[in-house]
Amino acid sequence: MTTDLRDQLRLLGLRHTGETLDDLISLATKNRWGTQQILEYVARVELEDRARRSLERRLGHSRLGRFKPMADFDWAWPKRIDREAVDAALRLDFLEKAHNIVLVANQGLGKTMIAQNIAHAAVQAGQSVLFTTAAQMLLDLGSQDSARGLDQRLRHYCNRVSLLVIDEIGYLSYDNRNADLLFQVVSRRYEKRSVILTTNLTFSDWPTVFPNAACTTALIDRLVHHSEIITIEGKSYRAREAEEAKPARRKPKS
């Protein structure tokens, strides 16, 4: 009988209750719960379980991977950083109006870490998120061998997620095809859904990696409009950590 009830609960979508039915019966019997108390308990734990599973799904789909939390960020290290702007981004103030965040910094200053933490905050707030590098996204789009296939992948990046994070713009040069694909992604999301973009180049240097001057100007125009530009200046964290690790490596064994 219990097995049949467990299966029926799962068919009704009460998966957690079905999986923990024996525990529920024991708890209700021990506490002498009435019908209303049992229903209130089932409703509460099912909502909690669904929220947990939904969060796990969104995290999986986001492709965020492992990253350091903002608690580990050394605010004293950069020579220049607008902490208030970063804190506002972490509060997700920009998402409601479909504004963008552009993080500009040399390698090793934490721009990707900040972008990942903003994205993680969005996932926790119930938003759909996708994190990708510019190289990965453009390779995916450029590998489509039909107009229909390309349109499907463009919808994947442009329509299906509330927040798209494009990491590492400017580390590679872009031919006209890739520049056009990036422009299409930004244009389709423009004023509809937010983008976070990280780059090691100031906008004045973008023509050095984008061959089409007209496309570059239009791309920057759409990115800058309704965007918070956060510039980080200073020396690389990773270079500092490498220097600090040298004495430990050189220390002779006792």
At 4, list the tokens: 């049949």
pLDDT classification of 238: cutoffs 50, 70, 90: low
Q: Decide if 149 is inside a domain.
A: yes
| CA gap 114, 93 in Å, rounded | 15
Last residue of a domain, one of 62, 90, 111: 62
Cα 136 off chain centre by: 15
Residue 193: domain span: 70-239
Residues 46, 41: Cα–Cα separation, whole Å: 8
Task: Please give the Cα distance from 126 to 232 (Å, whole number).
Answer: 29
Helix ranges, 132-235 (H): 134-142, 147-158, 176-189, 213-224
Residue 164 lies in a domain: yes
Pairwise pLDDT comparison (113 vs 170), residue with the higher score? 113
One domain for residues 223 and 118: yes
- Domain co-membership, 99 together with 8: no
Residue 201 DSSP class: S
Q: What is the DSSP letter of 161?
A: -
pLDDT, mean of residues 73-77: 94
CATH number at residue 184: 3.40.50.300
Q: What is the pLDDT of residues 80-128, one digit of tens each?
A: 999 999 999 999 999 999 999 999 999 999 999 999 999 999 999 999 9
Let me know: does 150 contact 144? Beta carbons within 8 Å: yes
Nearest-5° angle of CA 218, CA 158, CA 161?
135
Looking at the fold, whether 46 and 87 belong to one and the same domain comes out as: no
Question: Is the same domain home to 114 and 185?
Answer: yes
Mean of the per-residue pLDDT values of the chain = 92
Q: Is residue 12 part of a domain?
A: yes
Considering the domain architecture, whether residues 94 and 177 belong to the same structural domain is answered as: yes
Same domain, 92 and 24: no
Which residues have a Cβ under 8 Å from the Cβ of 252 and sit 6 or more positions away? none
pLDDT at position 72 is 95
- pTM given for the model: 0.86
User: Within this chain, do residues 119 and 81 fall inside the same structural domain, yes or no?
Assistant: yes
Shared-domain flag, residues 199 and 96: yes
Are residues 106 and 227 both part of a single domain? Answer: yes
- Does 78 lie in the same domain as 57? no
E-state strands within the chain = 100-104, 129-133, 163-169, 194-199, 227-231
User: Do residue 11 and residue 122 come from a single domain?
Assistant: no
Given 20, 42, 62, the domain boundary residue is 62
Interatomic CA distance for residues 108 and 93, integer angstroms: 26
Q: Is pLDDT at 242 greater than 70 in this prediction?
A: no
The total number of structural domains in the chain stands at 2
Q: Which residues are 2's β-sheet partners?
A: none
Is a pLDDT exceeding 60 seen at residue 253?
no
pLDDT for 250 equals 58
Same domain, 229 and 110: yes
Q: Which tens digit of pLDDT belongs to each residue from 125-163?
A: 999 999 999 999 999 999 999 999 999 999 999 999 999
